[in-house]
Amino acid sequence: MSIRIFSKLALAMAVTASSVSMAASLEAVNPAVRAMPPGAPASGAYVTLVNHSEQERFLIGAESTAAENVEIHVSEMQGDTMVMNRVEQIAVPAHGQTELKPGGYHIMMMGLVAPLKAGDHVDFTLVMKNGERIPMQAPVLSPDEMAKYMPSGMSMKHMDHSKMDHGSMSHDKEHKGHNEMGEHSAHH
């Protein structure tokens, strides 16, 4: 009888250890959310995903109770217009990393349920294509603190938001008229 119990226990431990190592194979490094003033409809979240496994991994979504709708997006220049599009997945190469940062891939939080103030934290669940769900807590940073997340030569204070185009997006009206930092744009 004790051998049978031991065998079942060993099998359960092996399955658990496999799940833990699988979860540890993808790491969310240096997450951050941009602080937003009261009434702002949206904000962006950023993180570097590091894949320690032998296989390419795919982020297919994110969840958070801080917003009514959370999606993964990419911002791209098309001519002289910045266009933001929802993406189905973001690849994280085997033994590599993928950055989610302003001006590129990011987690878009729409329909904020409360103002995002510097010093707060936002809880997320990153959803992977293989079914894995990875918890992540991101600090809310002020615009000055967010400067470290900007691509070289790009500044949130100096970005031309008048050329931001959301026309290719099929989201509800709460997402229209703002860029990934949640600021209103003059051109749609």
Instruction: Kindly list the averaged pLDDT for each block of 10 residues, start to end, along the chain of length 188.
Output: 50 38 74 93 96 96 98 93 93 97 94 95 97 95 82 42 39 43 41
Residue 68 to residue 83: CA distance in whole angstroms: 22
Q: Within a domain: residue 99? A: yes
β-strand partners of 184:
178
Q: What is the pLDDT of residues 135-148, one digit of tens each?
A: 999 999 998 898 87
Helices and strands (H and E) in the chain: how many: 2, 11
Q: Within a domain: residue 68? A: yes
Q: What is the CATH number of the domain that holds 158?
A: 2.60.40.1890
Please tell me the pTM assigned to this model.
0.70
Q: Within a domain: residue 93? A: yes
Host domain of residue 161:
26-175
Q: How far is C-alpha 116 from the geometric centre of its chain's CA atoms?
A: 15
Q: Within a domain: residue 12? A: no
pLDDT at position 177, please? 41
Q: Where are the beta strands (DSSP E) in the chain?
A: 26-34, 42-51, 57-63, 67-78, 81-86, 90-92, 97-100, 105-112, 121-128, 133-141, 164-165
Q: Structural domain tally of the chain? A: 1
pLDDT at position 75, please? 92
Q: Within a domain: residue 21? A: no
Q: Which residues contact 92 (CB under 8 A, 6 or more apart)?
A: 26, 49, 50, 51, 56, 57, 58, 59, 98
